[in-house]
Structure 1
Amino acid sequence: MNLEIIIHPDYVSQHEAIIALLLGFDKNENFVTKGDRNVIKKAGLGQKVVNIKSFKKPNFFQSIVYAYVRKSKAERSFEYAKLLTEKGINTPAPIAYAINKKGGIAESYYISAHLSYDLDFRVLNHTPLYPERDIILRQFAAFTFKLHEAGIEFLDHSPGNTLIKKVSPEQYEFYLIDLNRMKFGEMSLEKRMHNFRRLWLSKKMINVMAPVYAKLAGVSETEIHMLMSKYSKEFQRKVNRKKLRRRK
């Protein structure tokens, strides 16, 4: 394995242990997720538990692009996690990324701190009577406002990519994962509301979240509600049409 590895300054002293984790990745059977595209495994690093994400091997063309034109998913995940942390947006702490190059990119890995959490956003989609659901939704709306105010457009702002941790009575923290697709810069109101579309929000969820975002943004609740509903419905119709075509 011809590894090129970049380690966060906080973990440089554990350089050899991090390399050992990567070299032993294939033999590690402690799976967190085992998908068709990416695999995440859990391991120990000193006193910490970490997640090692192995990205799907790119095809030949993608491999050349990632090696010489565009940053790999692992590198972007690492850099965006550092940026989010600097801006006060929660994400599992970035530790390192590594690329195995051989005439292009053969494999890439991203290592981050393992996070113990209580639920992800999907639970709120599927469980209307989840305890304190409205409280969580209001706080999530404020969290997303903070994200937008920081000029961060999280392109994969979807239910599976927000982990939720209860830290005290009626108080929650939100952590973003799967970070390799982001844009940065000032966001218009339209773009902000468009960024909610992948969350698969119901009418009730929008009714709860829109007033919070509107108050923080200093704009009309009616306008926020209208735009959030518009983009959510458009996205849901698009996905449902694709599903219907596949069935046919």
Structure 2
Amino acid sequence: MKHFEINEQYLQQQSVIHEFVDNFDVDGIPFGDQDRNSLKLFQIGDDVINIKSFRVPNFFNRLAYNFFRKSKAQRSFEYANKLIALGVGTPQPIAYFEFKSFLFFNKSYYVSEQLDCDLTYRELTLDLNFPNHEAILRAFTRFTYNMHEKGIHFLDHSPGNTLIKINNGSYEFSLVDLNRMEFKPLDFETRIKNFSRLTVHKSMIEIMSDEYAKCINEDYDKVYNLMLKYTKAFQERYYRKIRLKKRVFFWKKKYANRPTRSPL
């Protein structure tokens, strides 16, 4: 069974979009990181669209997505529409598709416009001498503050998920990878914790803390100490998880290579 919803602006291209999704495995141009999910670009006339194929979830989520929870593709589509309604940048949502059986959820796809950008936030973390680095970082912090003021809690607020367009000395920001968001009033600690995944550089934390303290009319030291605390806590969890995965991989490899005894 195939379930889908298409933005009314793209109804005339509906058959072409269906064809792209149905032939996703063999058509399209691969784009970006392909580790967890697969992204491909397709052409519709003069427009380029981006189709994200979410991998088949685990057994329990295949049941959950079929009966109890919205899929990542559906959430991405709905959250993108909410962001646009709230005046927050994100690529134009076009459609989402879900493939299900009677019992199990299988694959899903999110279709959006392909948005050109000059950089992502990640480049700011990799090159501290990037032109106008501080100005971009302060503008990004104001963007995040405005997002918080609108009751948007972007749970995947991480380096690769903000696209940045430079336009005559001003900066436009757009969010991608939208399937984990909350829409609610945010308290002070939640706001500051939302910066924890962005960078390990203290110099960047200092600038973001200074700009956010000005936006929220709060003491700089209070903002900085809390932002640093949450950043360190996130990094500790992140590297602990990596160490655990390495141990599991080591033991799996060790036991997989153990010689088996021949029967007597």
* TM-score for both structures, normalised by structure 2: 0.89
Q: Is the partner of 2:123 in helix, strand or coil?
A: helix
Q: Which AA in structure 2 matches 1:165?
A: K
Is contact 1:143–1:174 with CA below 8 Å preserved after alignment?
yes
Residue of structure 2 in register with 1:46 after alignment: 45
What does 1:16-27 correspond to in 2, within 5 Å? 16-27=15-26
Residue of structure 1 in register with 2:152 after alignment: 152
Q: Which AA in structure 2 matches 1:191?
A: T
Is 1:74 the counterpart of 2:79? The answer is no
CA distance in 2, matches of 1:182, 1:215: 25
Shift of 1:61: 2.3
Residue of structure 1 in register with 2:54 after alignment: 55
Q: Is the partner of 2:239 in helix, strand or coil?
A: helix
Residue of structure 2 in register with 1:166 after alignment: 166
CA displacement 1:100-156 (0-9 Å, x = unmatched):
111322210000000111111111111111111101100000000011111111111
Residue of structure 2 in register with 1:193 after alignment: 192
Is 1:36 the counterpart of 2:35? The answer is yes
CA distance in 1, matches of 2:44, 2:28: 16
Segments of structure 1 that go 5 or more residues without pairing to the other structure are none
CA displacement 1:169-214 (0-9 Å, x = unmatched):
2x11111111101112111110100111011241100221112111
Is contact 1:120–1:161 with CA below 8 Å preserved after alignment?
yes
Is contact 1:200–1:236 with CA below 8 Å preserved after alignment?
no
CA distance in 2, matches of 1:162, 1:180: 14
Is contact 2:205–2:228 with CA below 8 Å preserved after alignment?
yes
CA displacement 1:80-103 (0-9 Å, x = unmatched):
000011111111110000011113
Shift of 1:34: 5.2
CA distance in 1, matches of 2:75, 2:203: 35
Q: Which has the larger radius of gyration?
A: 2
Q: Is the partner of 1:33 in helix, strand or coil?
A: coil
Residue of structure 2 in register with 1:5 after alignment: 4
Is contact 1:37–1:56 with CA below 8 Å preserved after alignment?
yes
CA distance in 1, matches of 2:20, 2:77: 17
CA distance in 1, matches of 2:149, 2:75: 21
CA distance in 2, matches of 1:64, 1:134: 47
CA distance in 2, matches of 1:26, 1:157: 29
CA distance in 2, matches of 1:102, 1:45: 30
Shift of 1:6: 0.0
Is contact 2:28–2:42 with CA below 8 Å preserved after alignment?
no
Q: Which AA in structure 2 matches 1:110?
A: Y
- Structure 1 residues 59 and 127: alpha-carbon distance in aligned structure 2, compared to 1, 3 A threshold: same
Identical-pair percentage:
43
Residue of structure 1 in register with 2:202 after alignment: 203
CA distance in 1, matches of 2:58, 2:239: 29
Q: Which AA in structure 1 matches 2:211?
A: V
Q: Is the partner of 2:96 in helix, strand or coil?
A: strand
Q: Is the partner of 2:90 in helix, strand or coil?
A: coil
CA distance in 1, matches of 2:55, 2:122: 24
Q: Which AA in structure 2 matches 1:98?
A: F
Residue of structure 2 in register with 1:231 after alignment: 230
Q: Which AA in structure 2 matches 1:147?
A: M
CA distance in 2, matches of 1:244, 1:61: 26
Question: What's the RMSD between the two structures over aligned residues?
Answer: 1.5
* TM-score for both structures, normalised by structure 1: 0.94
**Count of matched residue pairs:** 246
Segments of structure 2 that go 5 or more residues without pairing to the other structure are 248-264
CA distance in 2, matches of 1:202, 1:66: 38
Is contact 2:62–2:105 with CA below 8 Å preserved after alignment?
yes
Shift of 1:47: 2.6
Shift of 1:5: 1.2
